[in-house]
Amino acid sequence: MSVKGAEQIITTQRLIDKKQRGEKITMLTSYDYTMARILDSVGIDVILVGDSAANVMAGHETTLPITLDQMIYHAQSVMRAVKRALVVVDLPFGSYQGNSKEALSSAIRIMKESGADAVKLEGGEEIEESVKRILCAGIPIMGHLGLTPQSINKFGTYAVRAREAEEAEKLARDAHLLEELGCFAIVLEKIPAALGKKVAGELKIPMIGIGAGGGVDGQVLVAHDMLGLQQEFSPRFLRRYHNLYAEMKTAFANYVSDVRSGNFPNEKEQY
């Protein structure tokens, strides 16, 4: 496991300080050593070992199937690479909703077995007891409100959340509760920009948005999506910074053609 360089490491307090100074927080996902190393080298603030690994790495329709053991494997791979960024790991579906003791033992496994810095849980008042118990053990928590993909079977759709006043009020209440309990930041997913800005303005801890507009304190995207590694998923909030799908396809096709034609390896590529 990598020991982080003491001077410039990102801590939960440094993220809160960044918000106070009006500096935007940067966060992307990673599930493996190679991607995490590149992310850390550009000075990203937070690396999220998201349960979106269930979709991106394993090809599942939802995030529900990924297990605690699989999340720990991904987190261990990321931790071997990271020297500076704060690494947050999702508690997967089924590892914390049952009761607060189970939630704590899942969080402890992640911290002990991966060496990560914090865990992320989806939900507000419904998971209050679990949040309290995990925080009591000294494990930092990032909350996650708005579209919470682990509840997709309850929502029935990945559409924008909290458009109606009642749901928007509950979201704001939940955000305040999570701050009062001691969470250090909250992800706000797929909600109206005005609501994101309002909640970010009311709270001291950073609100990190994904489809929550520009008025929040930072942004997160799934790295595979912003790199353009797939073409099917195209929500309005996604900016593609590259078309890696096309680039990789060309590279693989060129390799196949070179091997078949005998062009690879050439004289210089052999012993």
Residues near ligand KIV (CB under 6 A): 29, 48, 50-52, 90, 187, 210, 220, 222
d(CA 20, CA 15): 9
Residues with Cβ within 8 Å of 22's Cβ and at least 6 positions away in sequence, in order, are none
Q: How far is the CB of 180 from ligand KIV (least distance, A)?
A: 22
Residues with Cβ within 8 Å of 194's Cβ and at least 6 positions away in sequence, in order, are 213, 215
Query: Of 220 and 229, which CB lies nearer to ligand KIV in the complex structure?
Result: 220
Residue number closest to ligand KIV, CB atom: 50
Q: Give yes or no for a contact between 155 and 177, defined as CB atoms under 8 angstroms apart.
A: no
Tokens encoding 45: 């603030």
Nearest one of 95, 113, 86, 182 to 141, comparing CA atoms:
182
Q: Which amino acid is at 146?
A: G
CA geometry: angle at 149 spanning 109 and 211, to 5°?
115
**Alpha carbon 96 to chain centroid, angstroms:** 17
Active-site entry in 113, 126, 189, 232:
189
Query: Of 111 and 119, which CB lies nearer to ligand KIV in the complex structure?
Result: 119
Task: Clarify whether 269 is annotated catalytic.
Answer: no
* 252 C-beta neighbours (distance < 10 Å), count: 10
Q: How far is the CB of 170 from ligand KIV (least distance, A)?
A: 20
Query: Of 28 and 79, which CB lies nearer to ligand KIV in the complex structure?
Result: 28
Q: How far is the CB of 148 from ligand KIV (least distance, A)?
A: 9
Q: Give yes or no for a contact between 168 and 135, defined as CB atoms under 8 angstroms apart.
A: no
Residue indicated by tokens 């609501």: 195
Residues with Cβ within 8 Å of 124's Cβ and at least 6 positions away in sequence, in order, are 143, 145, 170, 171, 173, 174, 175, 177, 178
The residues annotated with a catalytic role in the active site are: 189
